[in-house]
Amino acid sequence: MKDKFYNYIQQLQDTITFKLEAIDGKAKFQEDLWKRPEGGGGRTRVIENGNVFEKGGVNISAVHGALPKSMQAYFGVKDADFFACGLSLVLHPKNPMVPTVHANWRYFEMYPSTALRAGSEKEIIDQWFGGGQDLTPYYLFHEDAKHFHQTCKTACDKHNPEFYPKYKSRCDEYFYNAHRNEARGIGGLFFDYCKANDEMTMENWYNFVTEVGDSFLEAYVPIIEKRKDLPYTQEQRNWQEIRRGRYVEFNLVHDKGTLFGLKTNGRIESILMSLPPHVQWVYDHHPEKGSDEEKLIDVLQNPRDWI
């Protein structure tokens, strides 16, 4: 399964970066191959200063080795080894009318460390999939929100009609800046610890996760193409940078993927690829009453059903 999924995310990275370069028309992804001293490595691809994308990254990694003590405590295990691979992407467009997007699809295995030290066959003691995709607009276009969520729902419904409402709700709960009492964006899907059970085999989970991965471009590209050439003011750009600050706060304070990477000696440049290049933190900022900016805040404080 780990080889099968790693092959999938390698191909998906190629598909996504090729399409995004075509949309941007100027900037190209810079590729950076790296190795992790403890085992494994990755292929980071970053795009900057383009016509459409101010900064973005589409990264894959496959790392393995002894599970760090901090993560052993988190998972409630002792002396375990692990393998983890995934694709993670974040895109920060230049135009504030185009939303930022994030997506991640990942797979994890855990083994007894003694089996590995003895050179015997790896016994998988736990394995699961995780991932999702979510949208962070700066100006709210309802038809864009509905399109993104409908694409997510269509992918989910092919596997289980209960998946979309469940993983949409989890996304609203997870991507939430509790210290601000507001969501990071308008959500999408978030799922984790997808393990074999009476209803779903690991093969079933693989099919579901890759279905969602394959739906990403369909969910996001039409929104880019519709909004990337809209006019905007410096004031709207300032608002975008203030909201980007909230994005940074979530990633550094709450995001489990960022924290996992930092605690497992992950590659810092790849982990912090998600941070936008231009951000503002304005003291005690509040948008004007009745403005488009205030309407966005209202939605972020009161997550809604878009379908």
**Phi and psi, residue 174, nearest 5°:** -75, -50
Catalytic residue among 102, 149, 159, 278: 102
Tokens linked to 287: 């948008």
Judge whether 159 counts as a catalytic residue. Answer: no
Residues 6+ apart with CB under 8 A from 13: 43, 45, 58, 59, 60, 87
Residues 6+ apart with CB under 8 A from 111: 80, 81, 82, 83, 122, 123, 124, 125
Tokens linked to 73: 């405590």
Instruction: Provide the 8-state DSSP code for 159.
Output: T
Distance CA 173, CA 271 (A): 22
40-48 and 100-112: which strand pairing? unpaired
Active site residues: 102
